[in-house]
Amino acid sequence: MTVKCYQCPAPAMYQVGEQNIPLCLDHYFKFSQILQQQIEDNERMINFAADQMSEISGLPPIGPRFPPRPRPVIVSGAKLNNISVNNSVVGTINTGSIGTVDQSISVLKQSGESQLAEGIKALSEAILQSGDLTKNQKNELIESLSVISREAVTPKEARQNTVAQSLLERCSKITGLANDVTDVCQKWWPVLIAAFTAATGG
């Protein structure tokens, strides 16, 4: 039996808090955004307190400040924290899919899957910026990547490996025809393919 999200009917993928509340990917993402915001607020408070102390005491500030955090980029209505592309590149590409890919990258980073996160980011950016891929090919690739990245954030035992594998196979065929994405693709498709190769005999 699948555990449902505490907030909606979607299957739960994560447990949060001391009570192990089950959450789906979307709600987990919202939850982690709130946590991130709280951390950022605390950093600003500490910076402010340090500045205030130095002003009152007349002494130079002691120790390093927290650096400002990068702002998310809004591209065609999608809020992107990871994928860096400009509006003109995105054009008519399905922004919902780009948003899903971007959210998944955040989750992968937080769960320590930095290789997968880096790979999905690099591939998305290369695909969106490619001059050799057609609009239709880009759309198919980004939509496939959104499905693949969702599978990547699913716990290993629940991943639909065969679905991901066949999408990855098709994606690498399409990008094989585009010269300006060759380097990125040769580096990262194999990493993704390996992630969905079910361990046997374990």
Q: Which residues bind Zn ion (CB under 5 A)?
A: 5, 7-8, 10, 24, 27
Minimum distance between the CB of residue 10 and Zn ion, rounded to whole angstroms? Answer: 5
**CB nearer to Zn ion: pick between 27 and 138:** 27
Minimum CB distance to Zn ion, residue 23 (Å) = 6
Nearer to Zn ion, 121 or 150 (CB): 150
**Across the chain, where does the E strand assignment appear?**
14-16, 21-23, 73-75, 78-80
Q: d(Cα 99, Cα 41) in Å, to the nearest integer?
A: 25
Residue among 171, 153, 173, 151 at smallest CA distance from 162: 151
With CB atoms as reference, the residue minimizing the distance to Zn ion is 5
| Least separation in angstroms between CB 1 and Zn ion | 17
Q: How far is the CB of 5 from Zn ion (least distance, A)?
A: 3
* Nearest CB to Zn ion, comparing residues 24 and 78: 24
